[in-house]
Amino acid sequence: MIELIPAIDIISGKCVRLSQGDYNLSKEYSSNPLEIAKSFETAGVRRLHLVDLDGAKASHVVNMEVLRSISSNTGLTIDFGGGIKSESDLESVFSNGAQMVTIGSLAVTSPSILSSWISEYGADKFIIGADLKNGKLSINGWQEESDSDLTSFLDYYTDLGISKVLCTDISRDGMLCGPSIELYRSILENYPELELIASGGVSSMDDIKELDMAGIPSVVFGKAFYEGRISLDDLKSYKS
């Protein structure tokens, strides 16, 4: 069964969602991310994708207190992303309760640095973020487009022992228009052992069921929940 991973995206300590990564299209859903995290845990969710959007834009972790609060008050397995560009940030994120980190921009711009971290901390601690826009990888809070293509990117990191990749189709993120199932299928055809995490476009439990039927291992979702299209009862029943 597909693993359900709700997302909490943070700006100024508050739970928000963007549309297509546009910070100008930010919508606030809660001023209490811990309360949201606890509700997910009550629904039987075991894992949380926590994103520091301020950090992604600033290129250093900003919302550490939110991570500390959720990790201290829930039993959720947390993967944390956004703004991790230095080893001091990396160590702080781990020491404040994240079990894994999602690295996107640095994976594109400074592969040698990330390679050294993988060697030091272990590949199982890292999820590689592959954020796609117009067929290329985007960086720095999705504000810039790189020249890197997905295949060479995945080849490099799977050779280093990375097994977990979070792939986001930016054009669909926050748009509630359905996920890029064919994209994920094609990735798994070429990398069948990959623990692929689909992200972007989920609008309902039907979309999640379709991803599940396509053999996608995991899915991150956010806006569909916050807009009431996926309920806590849906999460309880799907996991039971």
Give the residue numbers annotated as catalytic, written as ranges. Answer: 9, 131
Spatial separation of the C-alpha atoms in residues 58 and 62, rounded to whole Å: 8
Residue 70 near residue 76 (C-beta atoms within 8 A): yes
Beta-bridge partners for 81: 51, 102
Indicate the residue type of 135.
Answer: G
- The three-class DSSP label of residue 161 is coil
- Phi then psi dihedrals of residue 90, to 5 deg: -60, -50
Angstrom distance (rounded) from CA 105 to CA 202:
23
User: Three-state DSSP class for 187?
Assistant: helix
Instruction: Kindly tell me the burial class for residue 182, based on how many C-beta atoms sit within 10 Å of its own C-beta (0-12, 13-18, 19 or more).
Output: exposed
Q: At what angle do helices 232-239 and 33-42 cross, to 10 degrees?
A: 40
**How far, rounded to the nearest angstrom, does the alpha carbon of residue 36 sit from its chain's CA centroid?**
17
